[in-house]
Chains A and B, each alone.
Chain A
Amino acid sequence: MDALGNLLLGFSVALTPINLFWCFTGVVLGTVVGVLPGLGPAATIAMLLPLTLKMDHTTAIIALAGIFYGARYGGSTTSILLNIPGESSSVVTCLDGYQMARNGRAGPALGISAIASFVAGTVGVLGLMLIAPPLARFALRFAPPEYFALMVLGLAMVVFLAGESMVKAMLAMFVGLWLATIGTDLFTGESRFTFGQAKLLGGVDFIAATVGVFAIAEVLVNLESKGGAELFKLAKGWKNLLPTLQDIKDCRFAFLNGSVIGFFIGALPGAGATVASFLSYGLEKAVSKHPEKFGTGVIEGVAAPEGANNADASGALVPLLTLGIPGGNTTAILLGGLILWGYKPGPLLIQEHPELFWGLVASMYIGNVMLLILNLPLVPLFAQILRLPYYVLYPLILGISIVGVYSVNNSLFDVWVMGLFGLLGFLMRKLDFPAAALILGMVLGDGLERALRQSLMMSQGDLTILFARPISGTLLFVAAAILVLPAVRKVRSWRVAAIEREG
């Protein structure tokens, strides 16, 4: 296929004033939706779908896709500044992003997340343009055993989230896995750990739990240290509010890592951006020269997950546009939109409507540039929030958290869940348990259990199905290596110490 010719066609579609206008509107809206916790891109696109009926269809998908990937830019803002994950996929950004803000580097953190998003967004579009159909075919090889192995690999990332004690991290992770079992069992329809509460049938809301253990716990910890007046240092002068050249150099690998992992995971219908961001964070720490500094505010720890969750958005468009298969909520709505506009989304869509696909691809290049230009100047502006005194900032964090969590499902119950998880997060902080490990367990628990049970149904209970297949076998081997290596290293250091003692 002549990609260049098609791309030219795409740009001729995307560069018309009306499409530029709607692309801009889409990405601005996406940024806003991303910044606000709670209201996500899925709900926004669903709300706006009726308005697109009168638009040209290519214009409509350009605008709606703009909201989708634009939201991934905005999601990092509250994660970094207030420790409130703006979207579920920006949970990982809290780990180093918020610490950077505490160290007076809020500006560079926000800046690098915009740059990482831009790089990954652009790599993602390149991928969508060049390898979408073969990648979609490859993704079809992922059956439940492969998903199981992927989830185990994700869980192995706990190694990289642990602080002093691996045991505490593992404990937190297993509690997270348990929390994920609450609700209705998909396979039998039976309810588990719901204590007769109809509101728990849907499980513990993930956003409510995360905002609790991150934002609310943070407020509680700070309240306890009475009079700790100085919360944040904020560098003076505009120059210090943006990443330096050295910062960008430090993130070279993170950009690549986030882009590739994000795009690939995005193309799998059953994984999700949160998994992608955890994986890329783990990989970044694994190859880092200073892994011990992760979690204290290293810039790569922001760039990798932010890149991953952005590339994931482009990846998610792969199965949607090449096969008509939606991978998540947002792409399901886009699919609904395509049907509503009279398209027949499926394997023949690109062939029969090249202007739609290539117009969208070209608009995504443009949209990513717009987002970078839009987001960088906002950095100093947003960073000013940290100048607020704590008696304004804390109520603000609480307010945003409550409104955000409530607005996900319009449920007061979720607000209580958030409060409960806030207390849990506070206790975990006091006892030095890593909250991120708990969240990791919660994110992966559902998929892990499902994939395991589906695999065993496939094999009539034979466990070898998990190891015997090439992709899942490889992934499991890598996961095992990640889990075992630190232990080996530890044993060796003991032996070295013992030998030294014996002289």
Chain B
Amino acid sequence: MNPKAILSAVTLAAIVAVCPGFAWSQEFKPSKQIEAVVHTGPGGGSDLLARAIAEMLLKEKLIQQRMQVVNKPGGGPAVAMSYLAEKKGETHTIGFFTGVWVTNPLTTAEANVTVKDLTPIVRLVLEPAVIAVKADSPYKTVKDFVEAAKKSPNQLRQSGGSVTSRDNLMRLLIQKATGAQWTFISFPSGGERLSNLLGGHVQMMVIEPQEAGEQIRAGNLRVIASLTEKRLAALPNVPTIKEQGIDIPLIPQARGVLAPPAVPRDVVQYWEGVFDRFAKSSSWHQYLEQNQFEDGYLKGPPLGKFFDELTVQMREVLKEAGAKVVR
């Protein structure tokens, strides 16, 4: 070995010794734009949440690279999930999940990716829901509605999303608990669900309090129960469904962040760190309040357990509802 080579080797060693964060560091930091995958088109719930979070992360200086939201709609969440699965080990991609990421693979044979295949990072939001009827409707409580539904089975109607959505699962659970029967009509967009309720074409809807809020204030809608453990701060006079004597398991609509399969440990730690600080930030708390979301912060092993338990619960509910459960 010539002297020059020795010299450069020594210099290199010195640099490494002096700057521990140089080349061999275990600490991950994004070096390029981050890709955030959502399963809805622009304007969907996940899309809006992801874009808002991307903006807040930058504003709170929690990330230095831009986060680009990538829409992968199709087959409920199936297209987005298989896209994430293809990105195995990719360090600059994350995805935004919701409850349907758990339910959809249970009923869809083609959806060959489940949340178990992906790397959980954090749960951020629990979306509460309420039961709303038109303001001039005769139903003042859930009991009123249930009694009416018992009297004329399948004559009353509820508008909602897909059959595996929380709206429909809540209906199935209430039907099972009370013996009442009514019809569930799927509409792909939230706008159509709400306008069919306002137009009087359906009699009831499971809706997020934020979406219902203005309609209540304008005197168009009445909320007859909240589907939460405790009464909602924004609707203190509305009793929970349990207070009204209907004891059903409440299905949370959870939202949060996942990474592709087989992502290095340090990447997971990086994101956990980022979202740990994010969950405490003032922008995030303001956002939660604006949208009347519950803080659903959860990470690590408890998050894995949450997914497992939700999967088991959903499988039960779907089976009881007569849906074809494939896994």
Q: Is the CB of B190 within 8 A of A201?
A: no
Interface residues of A in 382-414 (CB under 8 A from B): 409-410
A342 at interface by CB-CB < 8 Å: yes
Known interface pairs A45-B42, A202-B79, A458-B157; A189-B189 also in contact (CB < 8 Å): no
Query: What is the size, in residues, of chain B's interface with A at 8 Å between Cβ atoms?
Result: 62
Q: Is the CB of B186 within 8 A of A186?
A: yes
Partner of B54, one of A50, A190, A269, A328: A50
Known interface pairs A143-B199, A458-B183; A53-B214 also in contact (CB < 8 Å): no
Known interface pairs A191-B75, A198-B112, A202-B73; A327-B43 also in contact (CB < 8 Å): no
**With A and B bound together, what is the CA distance between A333 and B213 in angstroms?**
19
Q: Is the CB of B163 within 8 A of A187?
A: yes
Known interface pairs A201-B75, A454-B186; A332-B191 also in contact (CB < 8 Å): yes
Q: Is the CB of A191 within 8 A of B164?
A: no
Closest to A139 in B: B195
Interface residues of A in 208-256 (CB under 8 A from B): none
Q: Is the CB of B199 within 8 A of A186?
A: no
B218 at interface by CB-CB < 8 Å: yes
Set of chain A residues within 8 Å of B217, measured between Cβ atoms: 344, 346, 348
Most-contacted residue by chain B among A49, A196, A324 (CB, 10 A): A324
Chain A 119-163 interface mask (CB, 8 Å, partner B; 1/0): 000000000000000000001111110000000000000000000
Q: Is the CB of A336 within 8 A of B48?
A: yes
A199 at interface by CB-CB < 8 Å: yes
Set of chain A residues within 8 Å of B44, measured between Cβ atoms: 332
**With A and B bound together, what is the CA distance between A136 and B154 in angstroms?**
29
- Of B4-12, B101-109, B303-311, which binds chain A? B101-109
Q: Is the CB of B47 within 8 A of A346?
A: no
Query: What is the size, in residues, of chain A's interface with B at 8 Å between Cβ atoms?
Result: 61
Q: Is the CB of A189 within 8 A of B43?
A: no
**With A and B bound together, what is the CA distance between A348 and B196 in angstroms?**
19
A497 at interface by CB-CB < 8 Å: no
Q: Is the CB of B43 within 8 A of A42?
A: yes
Set of chain B residues within 8 Å of A188, measured between Cβ atoms: 163
A473 at interface by CB-CB < 8 Å: no
Set of chain A residues within 8 Å of B324, measured between Cβ atoms: 190
B264 at interface by CB-CB < 8 Å: no
Set of chain B residues within 8 Å of A329, measured between Cβ atoms: 41-43
Q: Is the CB of B42 within 8 A of A333?
A: yes
Q: In the complex, how many angstroms separate the beta carbon of B315 from the nearest chain A beta carbon? A: 14
Set of chain A residues within 8 Å of B28, measured between Cβ atoms: none
Partner of A198, one of B43, B79, B194: B79
Q: Is the CB of A269 within 8 A of B195?
A: yes
Chain A 273-312 interface mask (CB, 8 Å, partner B; 1/0): 0000000000000000000000000000000000000000
- Of B64-72, B136-144, B224-232, B265-273, which binds chain A? B64-72
Q: Is the CB of B163 within 8 A of A189?
A: yes
Set of chain B residues within 8 Å of A201, measured between Cβ atoms: 74-76, 78-79, 108, 110-111
Q: Is the CB of A186 within 8 A of B162?
A: yes
Chain B 196-224 interface mask (CB, 8 Å, partner A; 1/0): 10110100000000100111011010000
B235 at interface by CB-CB < 8 Å: no
A16 at interface by CB-CB < 8 Å: no
Q: Is the CB of A346 within 8 A of B218?
A: yes
A55 at interface by CB-CB < 8 Å: no
**With A and B bound together, what is the CA distance between A201 and B185 in angstroms?**
21
Known interface pairs A347-B214, A457-B183; A327-B191 also in contact (CB < 8 Å): yes
Set of chain B residues within 8 Å of A454, measured between Cβ atoms: 185-187
Known interface pairs A42-B41, A140-B198; A189-B107 also in contact (CB < 8 Å): yes
**With A and B bound together, what is the CA distance between A151 and B189 in angstroms?**
17
Q: In the complex, how many angstroms separate the beta carbon of B183 from the nearest chain A beta carbon? A: 6
Partner of B191, one of A53, A189, A325: A325
Interface residues of A in 432-459 (CB under 8 A from B): 450, 454, 457-458
Partner of A409, one of B52, B58, B71, B213: B71
Q: Is the CB of B52 within 8 A of A340?
A: yes
Chain B 76-90 interface mask (CB, 8 Å, partner A; 1/0): 101100100000000
B117 at interface by CB-CB < 8 Å: no
**What is B's interface to A at a CB cutoff of 8 Å?**
41-44, 47-48, 51-52, 54-55, 58, 69-76, 78-79, 82, 104, 107-112, 154-155, 157, 162-164, 183-192, 194-196, 198-199, 201, 210, 213-215, 217-218, 220, 290-291, 323-324
